[in-house]
């Protein structure tokens, strides 16, 4: 299947992950990141609910939002790295043959 994206159009983090890690590791990390998303989202919602005004607990809200955003960006990079394995095997880490 042909991809609409060129290799250079994938994000730098995803490209470096594809070169650095094997596919099994990337899939495990993606599963972990997806499980973590729900926990981080619930933390963020709790932080919002515990605030009584725009200024109260703003640091807590910002920290939970930043954690959730960072996890999202990591998931995007992991998905890109897995896609690079499928579409551009010449740009991915070669796993040793057993």
Per-residue model confidence as pLDDT tens digits over 27-60: 999 999 999 999 999 998 888 888 766 666 688 8
Q: How confident is the model at residue 1 (pLDDT cuts 50, 70, 90)?
A: low
As a dihedral over the C-alpha atoms of residue 73, residue 78, residue 79, residue 84, rounded to 10 degrees, the angle is 130
Angle subtended at Cα 80 by Cα 93 and Cα 35, rounded to the nearest 5 degrees: 105
pTM of the model: 0.79
């Amino acid at each position: 299947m042909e991809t609409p994206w060129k290799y250079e159009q994938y994000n730098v983090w995803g490209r470096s992950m594809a070169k650095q890690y094997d596919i099994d590791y990337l899939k495990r990390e993606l599963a972990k990141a997806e499980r973590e998303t729900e926990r981080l989202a619930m933390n963020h919602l709790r932080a919002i609910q515990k605030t009584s005004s725009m200024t109260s607990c703003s640091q807590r809200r910002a920290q939970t939002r930043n954690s959730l955003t960072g996890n999202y960006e990591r998931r995007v990079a992991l998905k890109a790295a897995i896609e690079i394995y499928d579409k551009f095997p010449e740009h991915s880490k070669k796993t040793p043959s057993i």
